[in-house]
A and B are shown apart, each in its own frame.
Chain A
Amino acid sequence: MLPIKQGQFAIALVCVVLGVMLAVQFRTTQDIRSSIPYQRVEDLSQRLSQTEKERDALINQVQELKRTSGAEAASKELERVRMGAGVIAVEGPGIIVTIDDSKRPSKPGENPNLYLIHDDDILKVINELWAAGAEAISINEQRLIASSEVRCAGPTLSVNNSRYSPPYEVRVIGEPTTLENALKMRGGVIETLQFWGIQVTIKKQDDVKVPAYKGAFRFEFAKPLKEGGN
């Protein structure tokens, strides 16, 4: 042992304090690590500034609408509604996702269905894309609208009552990076699909052209509600 003759008590006392501080500091550091990841703070501040930008843009839009005449506003509104309904072709930045069946042969005793693309696989992709802010989506030249269906039809896929076989080309307009990241998310759609060897390629493009809905609207049962009704 070291030959310490003096000050044992004082040092021991300070050591007690030191010990308490050590324990507290350990706990605090752990709290920092576990409770507030710094990235989250950055993420939130970024989102805040984005929201503020959006707000300013909306304020501008309101002022613009107030200034412009009613007819002009109505025609603009009509344009927007037509775009939303999917009856006009649109273009803009986005991604093109190509999905093809797995080339991998199924192992004996395994369900070969697992290596094929099904309607729910495509639906999952579509759903993820809408959630990531996609503004227009088409599958193999069929524009997805409010009444579109994506459905298994034997070995093919039925979209807007037209049948398509793989490969499927999904054209999406929206923020390309966001869309791509949404699909490539860890544990996300693509990772699940690629587990079975299903081939998915994503291509970012500055102008993706999404075709218009080619069918007609028929309303046999629905009719517009009178103004003011619920």
Chain B
Amino acid sequence: MVLPITGLIIGIVIGVVFPITVPLEYAKFMSVALLASLDSVFGGLRAGIEEKFDNTVFITGFFTNALLAAGLVYIGDRLGIDLYYVSLLAFGLRIFQNLAIIRRYFLKK
């Protein structure tokens, strides 16, 4: 648990120190990708607790989820449908589920 938190802090520090900005029109993509990676992290934590963790599944899941989400947003933009909300809903739901499972493990212990 210590390692992921340190990683998170390191990442935030890098992000704050380096003046990286996303163009405004890509901000939406970024937010969905952010949610996807948040979901991946919680999924990974859950798998780690359940001792079913698979490195390949985790890493590929992370990238495909982020790309798929961004792609959905892009297509939605083109078609004039807010597919954006679909990914928001799906990822949000999964984050809650994963968190609930993690919490149960924590309580059982």
Query: B-contacting residues of A (Cβ < 8 Å)?
Result: 1-25, 27-29, 31-32, 36
Which B residues are in CB contact (< 8 Å) with A7? 44, 47-48, 53, 55, 58
A179 to B11, CA, bound (A): 54
- Among B8, B33, B62, chain A packs the most CB atoms within 10 A around the CB of B8
**The one of A8, A14, A18, A28 that contacts B27, using a Cβ cutoff of 8 Å:** A28
Q: What 12 new A-B contacts, CB under 8 Å, besides A24-B30, A28-B30?
A: A1-B1, A2-B49, A7-B58, A9-B3, A11-B41, A14-B59, A16-B11, A19-B8, A21-B33, A24-B21, A27-B15, A32-B27
B79 at the binding interface (Cβ < 8 Å): no
Q: Do B10 and A16 touch (CB < 8 A)?
A: yes
Assuming the A-B contacts A12-B4, A36-B24, are A6 and B51 also in contact, with contact meaning beta carbons closer than 8 angstroms in the complex? yes
Given known contacts A20-B11, A22-B12, A24-B30, A10 and B44 CB-to-CB distance under 8 angstroms: yes
Contact (A21, B48) CB under 8 Å given A2-B106, A15-B41: no
Interface string of B14-41 (1 = CB under 8 A from A): 1110001110100100110110011011
- Asked if residues B49 and A4 are in contact (CB atoms below 8 Å), the reply is yes
Taking CB as reference atom, which chain A residue is nearest B40?
A: A14
Chain B at the A interface: SS class: helix
**In the complex, which residues of chain A have a beta carbon less than 8 angstroms from the beta carbon of B15?**
19-24, 27
Give CA–CA (A101, B45) in the complex, Å: 73
Smallest beta-carbon distance A121→chain B, Å: 45
CB distance from B76 to the nearest CB of A (A): 19
Docked pose: A14 CA to B3 CA in angstroms: 11
Count A-B contacts at CB 8 Å: 129
Residues of chain B in range 44-77 having any CB-CB distance to chain A below 8 Å: 44-45, 47-49, 51, 53, 55, 58-59, 62
Q: How far is the CA of A14 from the CA of B102 in the complex (A)?
A: 18
Residue pair A24, B22 in contact (C-beta under 8 Å): yes
Assembled-state Cα–Cα distance A22/B10 (Å): 12
Task: Report whether B21 and A10 are in contact in the complex, using a CB–CB cutoff of 8 Å.
Answer: no
30 contacts between A and B (CB under 8 A): A1-B1, A2-B1, A2-B49, A2-B105, A4-B1, A5-B48, A7-B58, A9-B3, A11-B48, A12-B6, A14-B7, A14-B58, A15-B7, A15-B8, A16-B11, A18-B8, A18-B41, A19-B7, A19-B8, A19-B13, A21-B15, A21-B37, A22-B15, A23-B15, A23-B16, A24-B15, A24-B20, A25-B27, A27-B21, A28-B30
